Amino acid sequence: MPSLISLLLVFCLGAVAPVAKGDGGVHRMKLQKMPMLLDDMANDEFRSQAREQVSLHGASVDVEGWGLGMTSERIQGGHPVPLINFLNSQYFTEISLGTPKQYFNVVLDTGSSNFWVPSTSCNSIACYLHKKYDSTASSSFKKNGSEFEIYYDSGAISGIISQDVLSIGDLTIKSQDFGEALVEPGLGWAFSKFDGILGLGFDTTSVNNIVPPFINMVERKLLDKPIFSFRVGSSEEDAGEAVFGGIVDDHYKGEIHYVPVRRSGHWEVGLDSVRFGDDVLDLENTGAVIDTGYSLLGIPSDVAELINAQIGAQPSWTGQYTVECDTVPSLPDIGFKLGGRDYSLTSEDYILRVQQQCISSFQSFDSEVEQFWVLGSVFLRKYFTVFDYGSQEVGFAITARA
């Protein structure tokens, strides 16, 4: 019988496809990393219509004072909070809602835009196994009551919209709209170690047009700069940090190179080509979604099959591909060309060692509308990343290890 950890590695948050029903400063927040089931929730089609200009909740943003186009030296600073890492597969942070505070662990997900936690009114098995929000226990709760539904590969999350005070690190966002999940079907949600999801995407991809917490931070001038950054760790001892409103020098090495956002409204950049060993695949009209909520490398199924065959990976009953661990050092590198620069991963980067198994991170991922790949934590562990909302760019640099 497979271990529970093996089962957990079948589930992955990844990019999601939401469908609707019905005083300044730099702030860091605590992230914790726990086991993510590596493949169910990896199918964000990013279908929402993109905006042509940056706006917040329908209002244009005055970005003159934000220092757009600035180099990393002009936006240093922050208050780091450590991450906790389990199996290099899932990262979450502790937040609180309400008065007095009710605490939850939520995935910080650049592949989605909605924020939700389980409700005390939820009767799903997953809700019984996680912390739940109790609106009757909060004096700052405000009723909304409109319904929402978000579709993931592992099942649709549905519930009602509510409003309360959200605290993230040392930031407090009053009157934050969020989802109270009333239905969380499937074992994927039950096995997960996080309670909910806090989307870091744009409001244009948000179900019910709910303003995401990060957008509220920017709109309400809670941050020095309209950015956030991730240093994703690779061990329990060095799990990484997330920073809102700034960049920390010791999170990266060398220079940060910025790539323009390819589609307005999405943390997606142009993917010029992919190199695997000596083979190069030139691409046209293809994007790479930079997804902090996804554990693997999501690539077109035909390419995934070819690469997995080339590295000698064999499919298991879970749908994962495994390789013989003694072959890992001899496997070729893979490189992703973003903004004219090659960002490479070695076999030690893209093969996950879990207990006595070596699991390929190349996962089939097909979009019916847009052609894009998904670069999750396998990529982000090696490359420090800056998400610049003001200039609509994503910055990359080599991650500095503690």
Active site residues: 109, 291
Q: In this structure, are residues 132 and 120 in contact, taking their beta carbons and an 8 Å threshold? A: yes
The amino acid that residue 311 corresponds to is I
* Integer Cα distance of 333 and 319 in angstroms: 23
Residue 249 CB partners (closer than 8 Å, separation 6+): 76
Kind plus residue range of the DSSP H or E element containing 396: strand 393-399
Torsion, CA 40, CA 210, CA 171, CA 383, rounded to 10: 40
Which is nearest to 293 in space by CA: 200, 186, 226?
A: 200
Q: Three-class SS of residue 206?
A: coil
* Integer Cα distance of 90 and 11 in angstroms: 10
E strands, 153-300, are 155-168, 171-183, 196-199, 227-232, 240-244, 252-260, 268-276, 279-282, 287-290, 297-299
* Integer Cα distance of 5 and 2 in angstroms: 8
Residue 40 CA to chain centroid, in angstroms? 14
Q: How many Cβ atoms sit within 10 Å of the Cβ of residue 49?
A: 9
Sign of CA dihedral 247, 235, 312, 3: negative
